Every structure is written in structure tokens, then in C-alpha cells.
Copies of this chain bind each other. A is one copy, B any other.
Amino acid sequence: MTRTTIAEACETAIERTWFHLAGLALILVNAVALGLETYDPLVASFGPVIRGIEYVCLAGFVVELLIRFGAHLRAPAGFFTDAWNVFDLLIVVAPLLPGVRENVTLLRLVRLARLVRTFRLFPSLRVILVGIRRALPGLGSFLSVMVLVLYGYAMLGWMMFGDAFPAQYGTVGRAMLTLFLLLSLDGITDTLMTGREVTEWAVLYYVSYMVAACYLLTNLLVGLVLTALQEAHEEMAAAKQPSTAETQRLAD
């Protein structure tokens, strides 16, 4: 009997606006506390206070998680079907695990991961997420082409400049990093001029790379992201008006 009562109470709580706002407030306060910890003078004078705030936030996360779990009390397995619930659980439980507990870096990363929860609570952020997810298949083949072009140019670069500039083109891995950074066109003039002292082919090599990778492929990326975003917008708009579609179906 109590099980059903608790589950109902939890469900009611989750649907309330204050539950949502409290969740957001927890994340923001926690994020600010994490940020304040990077200011040494503040830590020196208010260290325990900041730590205390973080523990309160952690307690808040546990309570939020318990309420969410409570809503699934009639069928607890259903709780784990939502990937966000599993993610929240991991974030709360991870600092207690041996191996994580002693490692300052891992602990900090776990605490940082709590920022990701914002995406769960801000519905307007989901357009961006949906847009990125939509763009992934197109981005997959785009990245394949990009990697192919980078790899091909890296091999050519190694053949041309491997001996002259071992730090930049000594191995295919270094050459790929050099060419990836060159996508930003940062210092392209100097790079081309030093390359030209080795071989005149450097002009053709860098100019064709600029045209192919920096202009054509980068613009293709713009196009892919734009198309994906447009589809995401349409999807969100369609999801918002299911009733209209239904009404129309009934009218027919």
C-alpha cells in the first residue's frame, strides 16, 4: 500500500515546477562552487564553506535521484530504462568507488560531469542536441573524407618535408596534427615560405590543401550542420503540434 502512495507522491513532485527549478538551482550553485574553488585566495579563506556547499548540492542530487527512483517504485526496473537516470546514478555513486575515491583528477572530472545534467533539465537546449544528433550520419561520412584527405596530405607531407622538418612532418601522426592545425590558417604564410625553401612543390601542396581542406571541406561542414539544424527545427515543430495533425486526420 505505502509503495503505491510513495510512487504517487513522487510522481506528483516530479511534475511540479519547483522540483524542476530546484534541480536547475542545484546544478548552477554546484557549478559556481566548482568555479570558486579555482580561486586560491577564496579557497584559503572560505574553503570549508565552499566544500560545505558542494556537499549540500551532492545531498540535493541524492534526494532528487531518490524521488525519481520513488516514482518508479512499482516497477523499479523501469528506472534504468532512462539513460539520464543511469547517468545521474553514476555521477552520485562514482566518488564512493575505490580507485575513484583516492584519485583527485577523477573525482574532479566526476564533479565536472554534473554540468552535463543541464541538458536534462533545459528543454530548449535539446534543439541543439537534436541538431547535433541529426548531423551525425552526415558528419560521419564528412569525417571519413576529412580523415582521408588529412591522411593523404600527411603522407605526401612526410615524403616532402619528413627529413627537413621532423618536428612537423617526421611521422604520419605528427603530419596529421600539423595539417589539422593548419585548417585554422594560422601562420600559413610562414609555413608555406619555410616549406618553399625545401622544394618549390610546397606552393602547390599548401595552396591545393587550402582550397580543398580549408575552403571546400569546411564549407561542406557548414552545409551539413545547416541541413541538420533545419531538420531538427522541423522535427521539434512537428513534435509540438501532434494535436493539429490529429485534428486534421479526424477532419478527413
Contact = CB atoms under 8 A, between A and B. Distances in A.
Interface string A184-227: 11111100100000000001000100100011101111111111
Given A184-B185, A222-B226, A229-B223, A34 B145 contact: no
A142 interface: yes
A189 B235 CA distance: 39
Contact of A155 (B112, B137, B187): B112
A61 to B, nearest CB: 18
B125 A144 contact: yes
Nearest to A218: B215
Interface in A149-171: 151-152, 155-156, 158-159, 162, 170-171
Contact of A216 (B112, B132, B186): B132
Contacts of A14: none
A131 B224 CA distance: 11
Contact of A118 (B131, B144, B218, B220): B144
A122 interface: yes
Contacts of A233: 227
B185 A38 contact: no
A181 interface: yes
B38 A172 contact: yes
B185 A189 contact: no
How many identical subunits does the complex contain? 4
Contacts of A159: 105, 108
Contact of A227 (B112, B187, B229): B229
Contacts of A124: 137, 140-141, 144
Given A118-B144, A118-B148, A216-B225, 18 more contacts: A34-B172, A35-B172, A38-B155, A38-B170, A39-B171, A108-B155, A112-B152, A124-B137, A124-B141, A124-B144, A125-B144, A128-B220, A177-B203, A181-B188, A184-B185, A184-B210, A226-B226, A227-B230
Interface of A: 31, 34-35, 38-40, 105, 108-109, 112, 115, 118, 122, 124-125, 127-128, 131-132, 137-138, 140-142, 144-145, 148, 151-152, 155-156, 158-159, 162, 170-173, 175, 177, 180-181, 183-189, 192, 203, 207, 210, 214-216, 218-227, 229-230, 233
